[in-house]
Structure 1
Amino acid sequence: MKVAVMGAGAVGCYFGGMLARAGHPVTLVARPQHVEAIARDGLRMETKTFDERVRLAATTEVAGAKEADVVLFSVKSPDTESAGRALLPFLKPDTLVLCLQNGVDNAERLRTVLPEHEVAAAVVYVATEMAGPGHLKHHGRGELVIEPARASGGVAQALVAAGVPTEISSNVRGALWLKLIINCAYNAISAIAQRPYGENVGSVGIWDVMHDVVDECVAVARADGVQLPADPHETTRKLVATMPAQYSSTAQDLARHKPTEIDYLNGYVVRRGQALGIATPANRVLWALVKLMESKR
């Protein structure tokens, strides 16, 4: 299975690296500093179970995705449409584009610019970061939930064989919303404090704030007709035990003076709440504070 990773940051490098390690030809489309390091030394995968240098192709050019059987689409949410348009000339008619992005509406947005191609949403549960050029650090988990599509079964089998627990679910929308709720509870707080999840939840009042955030998200989801696959409060509370040392992607973006995806996390809940007549004050405060911190860049 020929694989391309569009926007190969920490998430894309993890799943692309796992497939390359299993023998699939993989090309990462990534930033120059990562491409140079990977071309020279391979992708260093420092995970919970192994620390290896994995050989695979890497390029800064979107043409690296040409003729791929599956594209792991992991660009930042604000770049969804522009990256999709750039990718279009290089896709085969039967290429599956698998969205590994934060947020709940990226696959829908991507379909508007790739109307003739199969696009499937995926829910990602993994804690990773790029610890340096070409250096992926894995903090925990590493599973996927994939939307049904013509090629989903074969891709899921390849991922499972590569050591990535993968499930195909007809309720990916619910799973995406459940992950969105978790991200809304953890990401902004980690970004504002610049501390990992485990340290934050021990601070006075933080669990109460997170509880309010989750309540608001659940109210918006239900008003939007979403069927959540699990208890969001219980799932949120359990997460910290699996990745206590994790800094959220929003925290990592702020620390590196990069734009965040907060508009597609708490900000999305605020917008949907407005449209559906649901008040979301806790989400609004977290969204506004992260936007304020972004403005200091």
Structure 2
Amino acid sequence: MHYTVLGAGAMGLRYGVLLQEVAGMKVDFVDNWDPEVDTIHSQGGVFVSRDGEDKHLVPINIYRPEEYTGDPDAYIIFCKQMGLQKMLTECAHFFKPHQYAITCMNGMGHIEKINQYFPQEHVLGGTALIATVLNGPGDVDFIGRPGAGTMNICPQTEVADDFTHQVVTDFQAAHLNPNLTDNFVGTLMAKVTFNSVVNTLCTMFEITMGEFIASPVAEKLSRQLIDEAYSACEAAGIQLLNTREEEWQSVVHVSRDANPLHYPSMYQDMSKNRPTEVDYINGYIYEVGHAHGFEATTHNFLRNLVHLAEFGKTFDMDAFRAAVLAR
């Protein structure tokens, strides 16, 4: 199989490199972030480490959207929600009717955009409990021992065809530990709920997942957010993949056992003064409930707190002080 990764960030690199290096697949990468493309070209590949150790160069083929002429069997899409539409628009010239789209992006809102270019019959959606950090352009750190992390994957039609089964086989060979499900929206929303707890709270208080779960209030905070998310989904007629108790246990396991030293991706964005995906996580949960008569007020409150923190990170205090003194 030939895969092309759209978005050579932390997770795109992890999936693509493992499929190339471990599973032996042909893999290309496409990215529209110039520093990433230029750095990988100049150094002849991407530097890969694991938990900060064994840093080594992995040669990869990376292109800008306007340069790419490949014809893969499937695209693996790992963009930030805010940049997805731009990436799809720039890449549309090489999409073909026989190709599939596979995505394990954080948050919600991406499937509708992907369906503008790929029919439901050719879309596989998933979620990844796999921790990865992009240290900088051309430098990625895989968190956890080899084979760490799991993922769920589901065809949008909820009926697995032969291609879907081949993807699962390839992902198994790459040690991505895929689990094939038959509940598309419920699968995606279970990860949105997980992220609405761990990503958001770790980001707000600048702590690792292990620090969060060690807190005496972690369970109380988690269950409140989980309960609100499930109630919002129930109001909308969405059956989540897990029960409320299973969702809490997932938060415990991933935070305490799998990735205790990891700062979630939202924290990584915040720390680098980049916009976060909170509108597509906590905000999405609130909007789903609101549209069906349920007010997930805690999620909405957290969304606004994150936006306040984003504002504070980028606020020009020197200019503000000068303006106040000039009054």
Q: For 1:145 and 1:261, how far apart are their aligned partners in 2? A: 20
- Asked if the contact 1:69/1:92 (under 8 Å) is kept, the reply is no
Question: Does 1:60 find its partner at 2:64?
Answer: yes
Residue 50 of structure 1: how far off its partner (Å) = 6.6
Counterpart in the other structure of 2:38:
36
TM-score for both structures, normalised by structure 2: 0.83
Partner of 1:183: 195
* 2:170 pairs with 1:170: no
Instruction: Say which one has the larger Rg.
Output: 2
The aligned amino acid for 1:122 is G
User: What is the rounded CA distance, in whole Å, between the counterparts of 1:16 and 1:62 in structure 2?
Assistant: 20
Give unpaired runs (5+ residues) of structure 2: 315-327
Deviations 1:70-125 (A, max 9, x none): 11111111233332222221012211111121123422332034449822212112
2:131 partner SS: strand
- Structure 1 regions of 5+ residues with no counterpart? none
Of residues 240, 246, 251 in structure 1, which corresponds to 2:255?
A: 240
| Match runs of 1:132-143 below 5 Å | 132-140=136-144, 141-143=148-150
Asked whether the 8 Å contact 1:6–1:62 carries over to 2, the reply is no
Structure 2 counterpart of 1:258, from 274, 298, 307:
274
CA distance in 2, matches of 1:274, 1:116: 26
**Cα shift at 1:65:** 6.4
- In the TM superposition, residue 183 of structure 1 has moved relative to its aligned partner by 0.3
Structure 1, 205-214 or 116-125: larger mean CA deviation: 116-125
Aligned partners of 2:268, 2:205: CA distance in 1, in Å?
11
| Counterpart code for 1:224 | A
Distance (whole Å) between structure 2 residues aligned to residue 5 and residue 12 of structure 1: 6
Q: Tell whether 2:165 aligns with 1:153.
A: yes
**Structure 1 runs (4+) greater than 6 angstroms displaced:** none
| DSSP-derived class of the 1:58 partner | strand
Question: What CA deviation, in whole Å up to 9, does each residue of 1:181-240 have, x standing for no partner?
Answer: 110011111111122111123345343222211110011122222222322222222221
Task: Between 166-175 and 39-48, report the one with greater CA deviation.
Answer: 39-48
Question: Which secondary structure state, in structure 2, belongs to the residue aligned with residue 284 of structure 1?
Answer: helix
Task: Tell me the distance in 2 between the aligned counterparts of 1:78 and 1:134.
Answer: 22
**Of 283-292 and 193-202, the range deviating more from structure 2:** 193-202
Q: Which amino acid aligns with 2:297?
A: P
Aligned to 1:75: 79
- Mapped to 1, the partners of 2:196 and 2:82 lie a distance apart of 17
Counterparts in 2 of 1:233 and 1:116: CA distance versus 1, 3 Å: closer
Q: Aligned partners of 1:189, 1:26: CA distance in 2, in Å?
A: 35
Does the CA-based 8 Å contact 1:197-1:247 persist in structure 2? yes
- The correspondence of residues 56-135 of structure 1 with structure 2, limited to 5 A, is 56-64=60-68, 66-115=70-119, 118-135=122-139
Contact 1:17/1:43 (CA < 8 Å) preserved in 2? no
Q: Distance in 1 between matches of 2:217 and 2:181?
A: 36
Counterpart AA for 2:60: L
CA pair 162-87 structure 1, distance change in 2 beyond 3 A? same
> 2:266 & 2:197 partners in 1: Cα distance?
12
Greater shift in the superposed pair: 260-269 or 64-73: 64-73
Asked if 1:14 corresponds to 2:14, the answer is yes
- Identity among equivalent pairs (%): 26
The CA distance in 1 between the partners of 2:171 and 2:214, in whole Å, is 36
2: CA distance between counterparts of 1:282 and 1:228? 19
Structure 1 vs Structure 2 CA RMSD: 2.2
Question: 1: CA distance between counterparts of 2:18 and 2:69?
Answer: 18
**1:26 alignment partner AA:** V
For 2:199, give the aligned amino acid.
N
Q: Which moved more, 1:173-182 or 1:226-235?
A: 226-235
